C-alpha cells in the first residue's frame, strides 16, 4: 500500500445483516485492509490503542473531530491465519469520518465485549501494487 509492503497474515469476512460481505485482511504491522461490497471500496487502517467514547454521533481523537457516517453489524466468517475477531461472533461497527476524509472505525464484538479501534482512509486501487 502506498509503496509499503502489506504482508497478509490473516483474513476473515463479515456477512453483514443486509447480506453483503465485508472482507478484512491483517498484516504483521497492525494494519487492516477492508474490501467492501460490489464496489470493492478499499479502506486501509492501522490499529490504535484508545477507547473512545462517542458523544452525540461524534468522536474526538487527537484533537480531530470525527462525525458518525456509517453503522453496520454482522457475523464473522471464514477466518484464516491470525484474525482479530472470533469466528461466528456477532460484531457491530461504527465509522466516524473527519473533514479530511480519515475514518475512525470502532468495532465491538457483541459476544466478548471487546473493542477494536482502527484509523484509516479510503485508498484508490492505483495505490495497490502487486509484486
| Contact partners, residue 109, CB within 8 Å, separation at least 6 | 85, 86, 89, 90, 91, 115, 116
Q: What is the model's pLDDT at position 53?
A: 79
Flag whether pLDDT at 21 surpasses 70.
yes
How would you label 81-104 residue by residue, b for 16+ Cβ within 10 Å and e otherwise? eebbbeeebebebbbbbbeeebbb
Average pLDDT over residues 29-38: 89
pLDDT digits (tens, 9 = 90+) for 50-107: 887 788 899 999 999 999 999 999 999 999 999 999 999 999 999 999 999 999 999 9
| Domain range summary for the chain, segments of one domain joined by + | 9-126
What cell was used for 82?
491470525
Going by pLDDT thresholds of 50, 70 and 90, the confidence category of residue 115 is very high
Q: DSSP secondary-structure letter at 100?
A: T
Amino acid at each position: 500500500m502506498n509503496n509499503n509492503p502489506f504482508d497478509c497474515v490473516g483474513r476473515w469476512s463479515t456477512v453483514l445483516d443486509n447480506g453483503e460481505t465485508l472482507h478484512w485482511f491483517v498484516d504483521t504491522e497492525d494494519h487492516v485492509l477492508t474490501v467492501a461490497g460490489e464496489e470493492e471500496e478499499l479502506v486501509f487502517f492501522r490499529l490504535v490503542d484508545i477507547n473512545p467514547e462517542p458523544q452525540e454521533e461524534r468522536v474526538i481523537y487527537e484533537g480531530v473531530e470525527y462525525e458518525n457516517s456509517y453503522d453496520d453489524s454482522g457475523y464473522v466468517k471464514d477466518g484464516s491465519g491470525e484474525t482479530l475477531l472470533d469466528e461466528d461472533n456477532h460484531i457491530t461497527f461504527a465509522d466516524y469520518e473527519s473533514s479530511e476524509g480519515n475514518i475512525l472505525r470502532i468495532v465491538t464484538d457483541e459476544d466478548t465485549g471487546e473493542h477494536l479501534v482502527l484509523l484509516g482512509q479510503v485508498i484508490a486501487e492505483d495505490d495497490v501494487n502487486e509484486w
